[in-house]
Amino acid sequence: MARNDDAAVEKKQNWFKQVWTAYQITRQTDPAVTLWTLGPFLSVILLAVLIGLLTPIGLLFPLMLGIPLGFMLGLLMLVRRAEAAAYKRLAGQPGAALSAVGTVRTGNWTWEQEPVAFNPKTGEMVFRGVGRGGVVLVSEGGSDHRAAKLADGEVKRVKRVVQEAPVTVIRVGEAEDQVPLTKLSRHVTKMKPVLSKTETADVTRRLKTLGAKKPLPIPKGIDPFNTRPDRRGVRGR
């Protein structure tokens, strides 16, 4: 029993440490995060106090509901601001697209951890992922013309070993026909499933035979997305 209690205490301490770390890192990029986090919490508490003072039910019941609700709203705002700050830190860095799509948790997506095609002189690179939505090639960096040419070459390589799976090319950027980095993971998540889990695994296996063109190492370091509070932990699951 003592071990279980110690484990529960340690888990709670780790959770608070994770939230505090996320707050500190976010504040470096977004100084207003303190106001955005405390604002919802204090607003709900104030509303609970007013309800308690102006109605016959008293303060106890409104505060019992208001404190946890305000805490949850403040934490939710922290998560959103942390995500926005993480994208801001990633913008312009080699491998930013891979870090963004790496947060996708639905659709059985797997991503090569190195670019499958790149231009070492001008910086264009292409990352490949496979999921229920088919094969996705995400290009970033450099000029649109060179990036498109690089992606087209990779499409031809993929089609040599996989004919039945659709291949989608996504260009990361702010232009009209591009997908912003902040919306990239959501864009991939919304792709309509066209492959079964078995077909997805088969396509992934066959694409492994392609390998990569002398992969360009992605700078190592702390992934800013790993600083986010765990959403399941927030909900107490």
CA proximity to 224, closest of 166, 181, 168, 163: 181
The mean pLDDT of the chain is 83
Q: Does the pLDDT of residue 223 top 50, yes or no?
A: no
Percentage, residues of the chain above pLDDT 90 = 44
What digits encode the pLDDT tens for the residues 133-164? 999 999 998 888 999 999 999 999 999 998 88
Q: Are strands 117-118 and 134-140 parallel, antiparallel or unpaired?
A: unpaired
Asked whether the beta carbons of 218 and 6 are under 8 A apart, the reply is no
What digits encode the pLDDT tens for the residues 68-113? 999 999 999 998 888 888 877 777 778 888 888 887 877 789 999 8
Model pTM score: 0.68
- Estimate to the nearest angstrom the gap between the alpha carbon of 201 and the chain centroid: 23
